Amino acid sequence: DWESAIRVGVLDCGEEENYETCKEYGIHYYPTFRYFKAFTKQFTTGENYKGADRELQTVRQMMIDFLQNHSQELRPPACPPLDPVSSSDVTSLFDKNSHHYTAIVFESNNSYVGREVILDLIQYENIVVKRALNFDKPFLEKLGITSVPSCYLMHPNGSHGLINILKPLRSFFSSYLKSLPGVRKKLLLPLQLPVQENREESTEIKVWKEFDKSKLYMADLESGLHYLLRVELATHKTLEGAELKTFKDFVTVSAKLFPGRQPVVKLLETLQEWLVSLPLDKIPYDAILDLVNNKMRISGIFLTKKVQWVGCQGSRPELRGYTCSLWKLFHILTVQAALRPKALISTGLEDSPQTVLQIMRRYIHHFFGCRACAQHFEEMAKESMDSVKTLDEAVLWLWEKHNIVNNRLAGDLTEDPKFPKVQWPPPDICPACHEEIKGLHSWNEAQVLQFMKDHYNSENILYKYAESQTDSSETEQGDTREVKDKSLLKKPSGNRENKSQDKENILDSESKALDKLIANHGPVKGSGKSAVGSANLKETKQAVSFLGIGFSNIDMSLCVILYVASSLFLMIMYFFFRMRSKRWKVKYYRSSV
């Protein structure tokens, strides 16, 4: 009913086509309220909501404040006056003949009922609603008003009197006034909204993917990393201070513990090395994005650029998805830390069994979009995270808190009806985890711990539906070649050094595809591989693009050495001829004398 004065729009920042818009407007958390004044010609990110809470009534009252604070000359023409009228103004109305009803809502200074009723009736004709404050007590007694809020009605025939309503509520006042004889809704043209382009994505039918709930899917984990690095992080234009420290620690832990495919792990390792090597207190997000998108064309790194939920798919697009994958990711990191306790040695993060949990806590605090979720998690962390003394206890702590969250959200609007929030793991997946003591359910935590280590082990990850590098490069180029990367479907292992040769074979196809995007030159293979040996394999695979030609780090190093050697040779030659010239001059001078 208020749309001719203030329109309400909703933008889903979780939809891929809205990522850039939400980034441009600096949307960090959900839900975010922004107000935009009418007739604004220049770009603005709007005014932030400043309500005490997120209750519907508070939001509505803040909308009224925003309207009332709007400058008069730029106020929407349909927006009626919201300021109170004086007692003398009300008295003058008694002597005027009018063709419409006039309703005066008397209320206290901090009441919003009058303004809400005014806005409720702006689309109705033959009635005008005003508001007045209860400051003039004698005047109120004269009108027979003993309590506020109250509504005084003036009829077109000149009669007037107090409305008798059962409850002095906004809905009662508005309903009564709308039902008066002759009061009817105006015939308004439908709201003209910009016509959306017919995108292929909107017509794409999402095919349901069958999955085994006792397994993990790499597609969920990689989709979660994609969303985290390219969408959630994108809301922060620069990272500095605690945010930058949190991100560095998260990337370090992920690079060391994530049991992913080689291209994804190499991306995380490259990102971690880059972040550690930068002596900067502030890093722009675009620099991080360039590395994630492999703008430097480093051979052998890849992360899917689209979400592909499998075990995390919801019955509707807005359900489950990223939050599900984030839980799975941190469960995997806690379990991998327990299974491989030496993985974090020399990172500065190896001293505490709470490392993964504390990083998760800081990440959710600084970056996770759902503010209410972040506050709930912080409350749980403050309550008991400090009691975690071992890596196994860290695994069980996160499992226990996840179940608390499931219990709290059971029956909530965010719950997927096809995947109800239950205590996990259910008996059909882990019967040994459940016991009954004196008729009451109890968890066997030793069995739960063993189940967690088995379930979140790299051995339990399936690669079905996971996008391969060749799939991505063929999609971008429209290439119809059929390429199969069987090596990508091999199970990951902590012993990544022994797979160097496999990595080369896996990545050849993507290297060629990426080279075609920039120029028609193939990558220059490092011919010095045999000289430097397998220890320098990583460096030989990293490539730098210059005028469309790929140079490996070995090539660049040789160029530098050649340049230094040439400079030294020229300097030596210069001093040699200079000294020879001096000798010749001395000899010539003596002979002439």
Q: Say how far apart CA 485 and CA 491 lie, in whole Å.
A: 13
Which runs of consecutive H residues, i.e. helices, occur in 367-444? 371-384, 391-409
Averaged over 106-135, what is the pLDDT? 94
What are the structure tokens assigned to 79, written together?
A: 């927006």
C-beta neighbour count of 562 within 10 angstroms: 10
What are the structure tokens assigned to 202, written together?
A: 């909107």
| Residue 204: predicted pLDDT | 53
DSSP-assigned letters across all residues of 194-244: PPPP--HHHHPPPPPPP--TTSEEHHHHHHHHHHIIIIIGGG-SEEEHHHH
Choose one of 415, 445, 460: the last residue of a domain.
460
| Residue 153: predicted pLDDT | 94
Domain count, the chain: 3
Q: Say how far apart CA 141 and CA 487 lie, in whole Å.
A: 88
CA 302, 303, 306, 309 dihedral sign is positive
Helix (H, G, I), strand (E, B) or coil at 564: helix
Q: Is residue 479 part of a domain?
A: no
| Residue 491: predicted pLDDT | 41
**Are 322 and 225 in a shared domain?**
yes
**Are 181 and 262 in a shared domain?**
no
Q: Say how far apart CA 265 and CA 412 lie, in whole Å.
A: 36
Residue type present at position 348: G
Domain that holds residue 36: 16-69
Out of 195-204, 206-215, 328-337, give the one with best mean pLDDT: 328-337
Show Cβ contacts of residue 286 under 8 Å, excluding neighbours closer than 6 positions.
none
- 190 vs 422, which has greater pLDDT? 422
| Residue 519: predicted pLDDT | 36
Q: Say how far apart CA 413 and CA 417 lie, in whole Å.
A: 9
DSSP state of 64: H
**Nearest Cα to Cα of residue 203 among 11, 20, 21, 17:** 17
Averaged over 71-78, what is the pLDDT? 76
- 510 vs 330, which has greater pLDDT? 330
pLDDT at 548 over 50: no
Q: Is 145 left (phi over 0), alpha (psi -120 to 50) or beta?
A: beta
**Are 425 and 374 in a shared domain?**
yes
| Residue 175: predicted pLDDT | 93
**Nearest Cα to Cα of residue 117 among 2, 269, 263:** 2
**Are 121 and 229 in a shared domain?**
no
Q: Say how far apart CA 508 and CA 299 lie, in whole Å.
A: 8
- 587 vs 547, which has greater pLDDT? 587
Averaged over 135-153, what is the pLDDT? 92
Q: Is residue 526 part of a domain?
A: no
**Are 393 and 424 in a shared domain?**
yes
| Residue 148: predicted pLDDT | 92
Choose one of 400, 427, 460: the last residue of a domain.
460
| Residue 98: predicted pLDDT | 84
Q: Say how far apart CA 425 and CA 406 lie, in whole Å.
A: 12
Q: What pLDDT band is residue 497 in, cutting at 50, 70 and 90?
A: very low
| Residue 585: predicted pLDDT | 66
Q: Is residue 39 part of a domain?
A: yes
Q: What pLDDT band is residue 560 in, cutting at 50, 70 and 90?
A: confident
pLDDT at 215 over 80: yes
Averaged over 397-401, what is the pLDDT? 97
Choose one of 460, 483, 511: the last residue of a domain.
460
pLDDT in tens, 20-59: 888 888 888 888 889 998 888 888 999 888 778 888 899 8
**Are 221 and 254 in a shared domain?**
yes
What are the structure tokens assigned to 251, written together?
A: 């990337």
Averaged over 530-555, what is the pLDDT? 43
Averaged over 503-517, what is the pLDDT? 38
pTM score: 0.67
**Are 328 and 275 in a shared domain?**
yes
